Amino acid sequence: MTVSRALRDPDKVSAKTLTKIREVVDRLGYVPDPAASALAAGKTNVIGVIVPSVTNNVFSDVMRGIYEAAEGSKWQIQLGNSRYSPLEEESLVRTFLSQRPAGLVLSGLDQSEDTARLLERADCRIVQIMECGPAPYDMMVGFSHVEASAAATRHLLAAGYRRPGYIAARLDPRSQRRLAGFRGEAEKAGVFDAGRIVTTPRPSTVTLGCELVADLLSKAPETDAILCNNDDLALGALFECQRRGIRVPDQMGICGFNDLEMMAAANPPITSVRTFRLAMGRDAFRMLTGALAGIEPEQPVVDLGYEVVARGSTARNGQG
């Protein structure tokens, strides 16, 4: 019983006893069978995390927050990459649930109907990340992409730009909500023009940002500001303007989204919407493991907010 407790929950065993047990385990080469443990306990110590990308810096930061919070704990993180595919996300959810995880962390609000049914019936705790919405499966931590994009649009207007455009790649649901925030605010100000929107389903890159700005300026050369769906595109937008001799911020304002490190390092530094991704990962893990320990969050939905970080790329009227 003591050995079982030491392997399952080492904090409940004295340091001296734990050292002796680990020495024997190492000598025998013993590896616990998670399937047998799950059968006996009804649950594993695994927390499944499903993200749409493992190469995108945005999700890398979220994962770093989760792993930092999990370090030294009894919980094991298993990562699944849905590659922005609803079908792959459904497959991963089925796989994780079949393994009896202690909990699941997954991105966004827009699961397929089948995935939603699986999550509604899941016998584990769940945290949705990256967004906030009114009806979580269980718990949620994120922010409003619509409101964040609307705030960035207001910043461009306050800086004196009157013919703003918008470029976006991938067009996943979060991208579409950012476009909705831009459109709503631009319409409210009477400056919206559908001809100044250029989007593509292709994955985002800096090079693609150059291409989208070239397309935008060929369609709407009067454009004097660009709200970019993410920072890769914003950096590409800056490069394309510099290639064309368009002065930033005097002739063109540029704003990104997420505020990755390269935004402050660019010349001029690029305005961006800062999102709190590291905190999001940490908070998601802590909410989940707290709930597993019987400590329910005061609020099931935590809005971390955002910040429009004004820099030189929009300092047209002293707003940078």
* 92-107 pLDDT, tens digit each: 999 999 999 999 999 9
CATH number at residue 55: 3.40.50.2300
Asked whether residue 156 falls in the same domain as residue 252, the answer is yes
Asked whether residue 108 falls in the same domain as residue 154, the answer is no
pLDDT at 40: 47
pLDDT at 4: 67
Asked whether residue 116 falls in the same domain as residue 187, the answer is no
Asked whether residue 281 falls in the same domain as residue 269, the answer is no
Residues in the chain: 320
pLDDT at 41: 47
Residue 204 within a domain: yes
pLDDT at 39: 44
pLDDT at 178: 98
| Run of H or E including 257 | strand 253-258
Residue 297 within a domain: yes
DSSP H helical ranges for the chain: 2-8, 15-28, 34-41, 57-70, 86-98, 113-121, 145-158, 173-188, 206-219, 231-244, 261-265, 277-292
Asked whether residue 290 falls in the same domain as residue 249, the answer is no
Asked whether residue 154 falls in the same domain as residue 231, the answer is yes
Asked whether residue 216 falls in the same domain as residue 255, the answer is yes
Asked whether residue 139 falls in the same domain as residue 209, the answer is no
Asked whether residue 177 falls in the same domain as residue 265, the answer is yes
Give the residue numbers spanning the domain of 64: 33-143+277-303
pLDDT digits (tens, 9 = 90+) for 130-164: 999 989 999 999 999 999 999 999 999 999 999 99
The amino acid occupying position 261 is E
pTM of the model: 0.85
Low-confidence ranges of the chain (pLDDT < 50): 35-41
Tell me the HSE value of 123 on the side-chain side, using a 13 A CA sphere: 8
Asked whether residue 156 falls in the same domain as residue 74, the answer is no
Tokens of 131: 């967004």
Residue 15 within a domain: no
pLDDT at 224: 98
Asked whether residue 41 falls in the same domain as residue 115, the answer is yes
The C-alpha atoms of residue 36 and residue 39 are separated, in whole angstroms, by 5
Q: State how many domains the chain has.
A: 2
Residue 10 within a domain: no
Asked whether residue 150 falls in the same domain as residue 167, the answer is yes
